[in-house]
Amino acid sequence: MTPWVPLEANPELFSEWCAALGLDRTKYAFHDVFGLDEELLATVPAPVEAVLFLYPLTPATEAEREHEDVAPDADLLWFKQTIGNACGTIGLLHAVANSRARAALSAGSPLATLLDEAQSLAPEERTRLIAESQALQQTHANLAAQGQSEAPAAEEDVDLHFVAFVRSASGALIELDGRRSGPVVRAAHVPEGGLLPATAHFVQTHYMARHPDAVQFNLMALGPAV
């Protein structure tokens, strides 16, 4: 399929994406995470239901991705990314589908319908839903054109990638990345309400520490609307 124009890491745009597809924005929205120390994490509206993380792709991250194990979980809804530059929308799907925000979707809305249908399908079959969803494609295109910076062309090779972090029903920290072959367990147990600090710790030690010269990191948290 033709690549999509990538989404800008902008919580206002990501909140608009959710609202356009059926999420009650009076209940949930995305918020900037301005820093990873305890004081700045505490300023993010809680409880955090999901975290979106943007990081630069490097030869090291790509090699590591090929060798990391995945742990399929029937309680998690995972989508494979088959469309270039669609990682922002895949991350948004993962964030809403696997958090309590899903309960705030309007019945019959495009996103509620897509997630309900995807639930009974095998992962490889879910890619069809994304490819055939005009609402998903149009919303992505509309918001990609509204960023504060000039969007790159759809055909441009973008070396940044979005993944989502959620807390599973069993309390594990899960990374959901459409370019892998399924969910990855990053910590066996995260306390209730501890998703954001657990994610911050993991990305600091796993991604940032290994690439100290990289600066294109960004975190956004899905939490209560304020």
41 and 196 Cβ atoms separated by less than 8 Å:
yes
Question: Does 87 participate in catalysis according to the annotation?
Answer: yes
Compute the distance between CA of residue 196 and CA of residue 33 in angstroms, rounded to an integer: 9
81 and 179 Cβ atoms separated by less than 8 Å:
yes
* Exposure string over 84-96, b if 16+ CB within 10 A, otherwise e: bbbbbbbbbbbbb
Q: Which residue has the tokens 């504060």?
A: 148
Please tell me which residue in 18, 31, 87, 94 is annotated as part of the active site. 87
Compute the distance between CA of residue 178 and CA of residue 165 in angstroms, rounded to an integer: 12
Please tell me which residue in 31, 94, 140, 161 is annotated as part of the active site. 161
Question: Does 18 participate in catalysis according to the annotation?
Answer: no
By annotation, the residues acting in catalysis are 87, 161
